[in-house]
């Protein structure tokens, strides 16, 4: 009963003061959270007005194209969709963006990338995982490399990261690899998240509007 009561209190607190709860769980301030809500509303209204973001809307927001098939978008969406219900709700949006905050640790960012590359969700990164994600990222950036170069990149990654030599990379090995190669995390930091209200002034809203739109 005690556990149920605690969970219910968390839910009640979130409904009453969402910006306070999310600010306490992230590096965002309450003002940042209110600004992120405006961004969330813009994304969630790209196709049909509603209180969640679909995969098509996320893709439209990032690439101005909701129809193109993209393994990269599929993976990003699956990581943002924390409860695996096929949509991104506001709390998932904020908690996921927190990973890209400049103050978030490199270890947490590396863990996100580890999950991004772990396509088969086995708890390891394997050869085919890196190959598929490398090809997907090349497609997104319109980069063309020969099969030989792609294989060389993958082999070099395993040579450095697979310290146990078992043909797969676990999270501990990945953390060590990321620490030695910080460039692989360069896209995991969005500087504007440090001060959203300065970077996106049009996203600032009054607190009463923020709360009324979520819960009324």
pLDDT in tens, 182-201: 999 999 999 989 887 655 44
The pLDDT of residue 63: 67
Residue % of the chain over a pLDDT of 90: 58
Read off the pLDDT of each residue in 31-47 and give the average, rounded to a whole number: 90
Walk me through the domains of the chain, giving residue ranges and CATH numbers: 2-103+191-215 (1.10.238.10), 106-188 (1.10.238.10)
State how far Cα 13 lies from the chain centre: 24
* % of the chain beyond a pLDDT of 70: 81
Q: Going by C-beta distance under 8 Å and a sequence separation of 6 or more, which residues neighbour residue 152?
A: none
What is the pLDDT, as a whole number, of residue 94?
Answer: 97
- In the prediction, which pLDDT does 131 show? 94
Q: What is the mean pLDDT of the chain?
A: 84
The reported pLDDT for the residue numbered 138 is 85
> What is the DSSP annotation of 53-69?
B-HHHHHHHHHS-SSS-
At residue 88, φ and ψ (nearest 5 deg) are -110, 115
Q: What is the mean pLDDT of residues 20-40?
A: 94
pTM value > 0.75: yes
Please report which confidence band the pLDDT of residue 141 belongs to, taking 50, 70 and 90 as the band edges: confident
Q: What is the pLDDT of residue 40?
A: 93
Binned at pLDDT 50, 70 and 90, residue 4 comes out as very low
Task: Give residue 15's pLDDT band: very low, low, confident or very high (50, 70, 90).
Answer: low
pLDDT score at 5? 47
* Tens of pLDDT, residues 111-131: 999 999 999 989 999 999 999
- Residue 48's pLDDT band, with cuts at 50, 70 and 90, is confident
Q: Are 142 and 149 in contact (CB under 8 A)?
A: no
> Distance (Å, rounded) from C-alpha 94 to C-alpha 36?
7
């Amino acid at each position: 009963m005690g556990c149920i009561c605690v969970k219910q209190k968390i839910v009640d607190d979130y409904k009453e003061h969402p910006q306070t709860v999310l600010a306490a769980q992230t590096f965002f301030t309450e003002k940042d959270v209110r600004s992120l809500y405006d961004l969330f509303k813009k994304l969630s209204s790209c196709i049909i007005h509603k209180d969640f973001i679909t995969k098509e809307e996320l893709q439209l927001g990032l690439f101005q194209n909701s129809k193109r098939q993209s393994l990269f978008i599929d993976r990003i969406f699956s990581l943002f969709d924390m409860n695996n219900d096929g949509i991104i709700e506001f709390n998932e949006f904020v908690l996921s963006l927190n990973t890209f905050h400049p103050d978030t640790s490199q270890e947490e960012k590396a863990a996100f990338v580890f999950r991004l590359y772990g396509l088969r969700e086995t708890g390891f990164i394997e050869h085919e995982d890196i190959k598929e994600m490398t090809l997907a990222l090349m497609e997104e950036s319109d980069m063309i490399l020969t099969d030989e170069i792609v294989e060389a990149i993958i082999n070099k990654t395993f040579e450095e990261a697979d310290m146990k030599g078992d043909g797969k990379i676990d999270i501990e090995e990945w953390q060590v690899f990321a620490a030695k190669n910080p460039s692989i995390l360069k896209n995991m930091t969005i500087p504007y998240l440090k001060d959203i209200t300065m970077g996106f002034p049009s996203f600032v809203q009054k607190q009463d509007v923020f709360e009324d739109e979520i819960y009324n």
